[in-house]
Amino acid sequence: MAFQCVQNACLIGHRSSKMGKCMAERKLKNMEEFAAASGISRPTVSKYFNDPASVRKTTRQRIEKALEEFDYRPNIFAMNQNRKLTKNVGIVVPYLADPFFTEIARRMERCCLEAGFRPTLYSSHGQQHLENEILDSLRSLKPAGVLLAPLGRASDKRVIEKFCEDVPTVLFDSNIDGIGEAFVGSDNFSFVSQTVDYLTRTGESPCFFEMSTPANPNANKRRTAYLQTMERFGLEPHVVKVDGEGWAFEQIGRDGALRMLKAGGFPTSTVLCSNDRLAIGLLSACYDHGLRVGRGEGCALRVASHDDHPFSQFTCPSLTTAAHDYDSVSSHAFKTLNTLIEAGGRFDQREETLFAAHLVLRSSA
């Protein structure tokens, strides 16, 4: 109790000392008051907050001067209540604990903020019911648009389709044919052809290491690309599938690789992993098994992969991988959404944009 008094006294002290600095900064409680204080009518002020470029330059300057002078921010709930289109944007990723999605989401967030939108980030945590709930709850936010990376195999496609009918949505990372007005992602063929090509030029061509029931359609595209590329080269493909469900890819990769190694090893001396997280698990298995990975003399296995996961430069050895064009994917996804919003939520034709990978050579292959 005594403590509390001292604290309050202290805080009051702070407050009054701050008052001195910002005498002019009166708190205005609504737009009416702010309009009066700035000498502009309320509807015009309202128009300004909706879109600053929609008012005359001199008016804009007067409002912005008042904005510096007074402490006023429009009530966000009242704003969105009657507005046909809010400035809210939802960003939904399937699994935020994967730093790949964190990176993409961060960039998208930035794009939104710079364009004057209010982004909100959601993660489905790998679970269908959460994805559905997120979309449901997103709907009630009346968002101007949504950037959605679906779970993939685990998604309830009917729910997503219905959502995309109601809310302007750009899919990214994981495509669902025909759903959403646009898709922005990476060109899986470009990933795989580059890694297979490189590995084949510099040593034995790779087997393909993947989950037997991948979470995500990209995995299927990558396997197909592997098979095609090997065929083009006139080489015999080997696909190694490991068991495991869900999004704990490292664990699945590790467990699967350990089983392989105990059962006699991989069919080839080069392994191409479907994605970096599987590769991280595989590398950890190799390490524990005493198998030296890399392209040097003492190395028994080469390992390469796809994604350029933020941690892949710190694996042992560092991971040779095909990198997403993070910046292009995120900024183009946002641009597409912005265009879609301005076009009223519909495109004449569904847009699909894929960005090529670039090979990142490190030590593992």
Partner DNA sequence: ATATAAATTTATCGCGCGTAAAGTTTTTTG
Partner DNA sequence: CAAAAAACTTTACGCGCGATAAATTTATAT
Which residues of the chain form contacts with a copy of itself (CB under 8 A)?
A: 1, 3-4, 7, 11, 14, 73, 75-78, 80-81, 96-97, 99, 102-103, 105-106, 118, 120-123, 125, 137, 140-142, 161, 165, 178, 250, 254, 280-281, 283-284, 287-288, 310-311, 313-318, 348-350, 363
Q: Residue 161 binds which one of a copy of itself, DNA, none, with CB within 5 to 8 A depending on kind?
A: a copy of itself
> How large is the angle between the packed helices 99-114 and 326-342, nearest 10 degrees?
40
Q: Is 50 in the site for DNA (CB under 7 A)?
A: yes
Q: Residue 349 binds which one of a copy of itself, DNA, none, with CB within 5 to 8 A depending on kind?
A: a copy of itself
Q: Residue 363 binds which one of DNA, a copy of itself, none, with CB within 5 to 8 A depending on kind?
A: a copy of itself
Q: Is 59 in the site for DNA (CB under 7 A)?
A: yes
Q: Residue 250 binds which one of a copy of itself, DNA, none, with CB within 5 to 8 A depending on kind?
A: a copy of itself
The minimum distance between CB 96 and a copy of itself, in angstroms, equals: 5
Answer for which of 11, 12, 13, 41 binds DNA (CB under 7 A) is 41
Q: Residue 284 binds which one of DNA, a copy of itself, none, with CB within 5 to 8 A depending on kind?
A: a copy of itself
**DSSP per residue over 6-64, as a string?**
HHHHHHHHHHHHHHHHTTT-PBP-SHHHHHHHHTS-HHHHHHHHH-GGGS-HHHHHHHH
End-to-end CA distance of the chain: 65
Nearer to a copy of itself, 204 or 352 (CB): 352
Is 281:252 a contact under the CB 8 Å cutoff? yes
The minimum distance between CB 23 and a copy of itself, in angstroms, equals: 17
Residues numbered 222 to 261 that lie near DNA (CB under 7 A) are none
How crowded is residue 264: how many other Cβ atoms within 10 Å of its Cβ?
A: 7
Nearer to DNA, 46 or 331 (CB): 46
Q: Is 102 in the site for DNA (CB under 7 A)?
A: no
User: For residues 130 and 112, what is the distance between their CA atoms, to the nearest angstrom?
Assistant: 24
Instruction: Single out the residue of 324, 327, 332 nearest to residue 351, CA to CA.
Output: 332
Q: Is 342 in the site for DNA (CB under 7 A)?
A: no
DSSP single-letter state for residue 71 = B
CA dist 53 → 60, 67, 88, 242 (Å): 8, 16, 19, 56
Q: Is 27 in the site for DNA (CB under 7 A)?
A: no
Q: Residue 31 binds which one of a copy of itself, DNA, none, with CB within 5 to 8 A depending on kind?
A: DNA
CA dist 230 → 115, 135, 196, 226, 327 (Å): 44, 40, 8, 6, 30
Q: Residue 103 binds which one of DNA, a copy of itself, none, with CB within 5 to 8 A depending on kind?
A: a copy of itself
How crowded is residue 22: how many other Cβ atoms within 10 Å of its Cβ?
A: 9
Q: Residue 276 binds which one of a copy of itself, DNA, none, with CB within 5 to 8 A depending on kind?
A: none
Q: Is 137 in the site for DNA (CB under 7 A)?
A: no
Tokens of residue 20, six digits: 């001195």
Answer for which of 10, 78, 113, 343 binds DNA (CB under 7 A) is 78
> How large is the angle between the packed helices 57-69 and 31-38, nearest 10 degrees?
110
Q: How many residues bind DNA (CB under 7 A)?
A: 28
Q: Is 40 in the site for DNA (CB under 7 A)?
A: yes
| 3-state SS assignment for residue 98 | coil
Nearer to a copy of itself, 225 or 323 (CB): 323
Q: How far is CA 347 from its chain centroid?
A: 23
Q: H-helix or E-strand containing 82?
A: helix 76-82
Residues numbered 79 to 98 that lie near DNA (CB under 7 A) are 79, 81-84
Is 231:239 a contact under the CB 8 Å cutoff? no
Instruction: Single out the residue of 276, 277, 328 nearest to residue 107, CA to CA.
Output: 328
Q: Is 42 in the site for DNA (CB under 7 A)?
A: yes
Nearer to a copy of itself, 80 or 228 (CB): 80
Residues that bind DNA (CB under 7 A): 29-32, 39-44, 46-47, 49-50, 54-56, 58-60, 74-75, 78-79, 81-84
